Structure 1
Amino acid sequence: MASITDPNMSDRFTSAMEETHNKQLQTYEEIIDMTTDLCQSHRQFVKSAHDTCLKKCKDDEMLFETIQTFKSDLVQQNVSLKGKRHALSEMISEIQQKEMQKDDIIQKIEKLKEEQARRKEFIHSQNKTNKDRLRNLQKARGVFQDHLGMEMRTILGKTQLVKGEKLQFVFRNINPSDQDSAYVVTMGIKEDGSYQIVSSDPGLECLPVLESRLQETNNLAAFLANVRKEFISQARC
């Protein structure tokens, strides 16, 4: 160990102090540079974080606006869907009503077909009956006209009792004192095919009875014969 009284000791100490000071200064510089780098890095980090946060906020705002738009669209869609459901319900109800009307119309058509078939059958039956009646009339006309001087006429109805054509039977050779004097009975045919006596000239009190018997027997020749008898009986009184 050097003696403290060594004249070079002060220089060496000073040199050592300067060297130590320089090292500390260098260390401080390194610390300052490191601190500066750290500050710069921190500022860059903070700026990056700030930019990131701003971008995140904008993205969140856009997302929020999108969510609000979706909510508004959803509300409108719900309103539209509710209206469509109501319209669909009314349409279904209308279709059901039309189906019921269709079934009712089909039933009515079936009834009309059945009624038409019955009418057709009735008309066929009436035609047959009328043909039979026509044959009877022609037969009776031949008998009475040839042998008893009876004349048969077809006239148009003028009363509300019987509408359409009517038959008029004119009897002669009734009154011995006036062979040409006409005795007339007028009759028609109802819708059901039955005979209907309209009038007689001169009037016969028993005409309703004769008409009733005609309805039961459907024998026109016998009816005309009885009418002639009544006219003869009345003319001789």
Structure 2
Amino acid sequence: MTSITDPNVSDVFASAMEEIHNKQLKTFGEIIDVTTELCQSHRQVVKSAHDSCLKKCKDDEMLFETIRTFERDLVQKNASLKRKQLAISEMISEIQQKEMQKDDIIQKLDKLKQEQAKRKELIESQNKTNKNRLRNLQKARVVFQDHLDMEMRTIFGKTQLVKGEKLQFVFRNISPSDQDSAYVVTIGIKEDGSYQIVSSDPVLKCLSVLESRLQETNNLPAFLANVRKEFISLARC
């Protein structure tokens, strides 16, 4: 051990202290360097975290704005969907009404077809009846005009009693005193094709009875023959 009286002790101590001081300075410098690095690293971490937070905030704002946009679009689409549903409901209702109208029209058409078929049958029946009457008229015309001096005329009614076509039969050679004197009976044809006696000149009291018999038998020649007989009887009175 160096003696305290050694003149170099102070130098050794100073050298030792300086060495210790240098080590401490070095250690402190290392600590400062580490602290500086840690601070820089911390600042970088904080900056990175701050930047990440800012980016996250911006991303969240964009996300929220996107959500709000989607919500607005959803509201508009829902409103549009309700309008379309209402329009579809009205269209369906209109289609149903048209279907009902269609069914009604079909029923009316079927009814009209049935009525038309009945009219056709009635017309055919009337035509057949009229043809038979025409043949009877032709026979009566031949018999009475050629053999009994009878004239047949076609006239059109102007009274409310019988409208439409009428047949007028003019008999001559009735009165022995005046063979040219005309005796007339007028017959109307009704819509159903049946005969109706309009008048006679001179008036025959039994005309209604002759008319009833004509409607029962539909025998016009026989009716005209009976009318002629009644005119002859009347002329001889």
Give TM-score, length-normalised by structure 2: 0.93
Deviations 1:111-150 (A, max 9, x none): 2222222222222221111111111111111111223221
Letter in 1 for 2:195: Y
The aligned residue for residue 27 of structure 2 is 27
Structure 2 unaligned regions, length at least 5: none
User: In 2, distance between residues paired with 1:209 and 1:58?
Assistant: 117
How far off its partner does 1:182 sit? 0.9
Q: Report the aligned-residue RMSD.
A: 1.6
The within-5 A match list for 1:188-227 is 188-227=188-227
The answer to which of 132-141 and 149-158 deviates more is 149-158
Cα deviation 1:6-64 (Å, max 9, x = unaligned): 43333222221111111111111111111111111111221121111111111111111
Distance 1:164 1:140 in 2: 22
| Aligned twin of 1:14 | 14
Greater mean deviation of Cα atoms: 129-138 or 151-160: 151-160
Separation in structure 1 between the aligned mates of residue 41 and residue 122 of structure 2, nearest angstrom: 116
Distance 1:234 1:206 in 2: 11
TM-aligned CA deviation for residue 175 of structure 1: 2.0
SS state at 1:170 partner: strand
Tell me which residue corresponds to 2:70.
70
C-alpha distance in 2, partners of 1:86/1:204? 81
* Aligned-residue offset at 1:164: 2.7
Instruction: Give the match for residue 157 of structure 1.
Output: 157
- 4+ residue segments displaced more than 4 Å: none
Alpha-carbon separation, structure 1, partners of 2:2 and 2:74? 96
Aligned partner of residue 53 in structure 2, secondary structure: helix
> Secondary structure at the residue paired with 1:181?
coil
Letter in 2 for 1:232: I
Match of 1:222, SS state, is helix
1:75-134 Cα offsets, whole Å, 9 max, x none, are 111111101111111111111111111122122222222222222222222111111111
Check whether the contact 2:164–2:189 (CA below 8 A) recurs between aligned residues: no
Task: Supply the distance in 2 between the matched residues of 1:229 and 1:69 (Cα, whole angstroms).
Answer: 111
State how far apart, in whole Å, the 2-side matches of 1:61 and 1:221 are: 113
* CA distance, structure 1, for counterparts of residue 155 and residue 169 of structure 2: 11
**Matching residue of 1:232:** 232
Whole-angstrom distance in 2 between the partners of 1:4 and 1:187: 184
SS at match of 1:50: helix
1:30 is matched by which residue type in structure 2? E
SS of the residue corresponding to residue 65 of structure 1 reads: helix
| 1:59 alignment counterpart | 59
SS for the counterpart of 1:200 is: strand
Q: Quote the offset at 1:70 in angstroms.
A: 0.7
Q: Residue 127 of structure 1: SS of its match in structure 2?
A: helix
Query: Could you tell me the TM-score, scaled by structure 1's length?
Result: 0.93
Q: Secondary structure at the match of 1:161?
A: coil
Instruction: Give the 5 Å matches for 1:96-107.
Output: 96-107=96-107
The size of the alignment, in residue pairs, is 237
Structure 1 residue identity aligned to 2:68: Q
Percent identity of equivalent pairs: 84
CA distance in 2, matches of 1:40, 1:176: 162
Alignment of 1:56-135 (within 5 A): 56-135=56-135
Secondary structure in 1 matching 2:200: strand
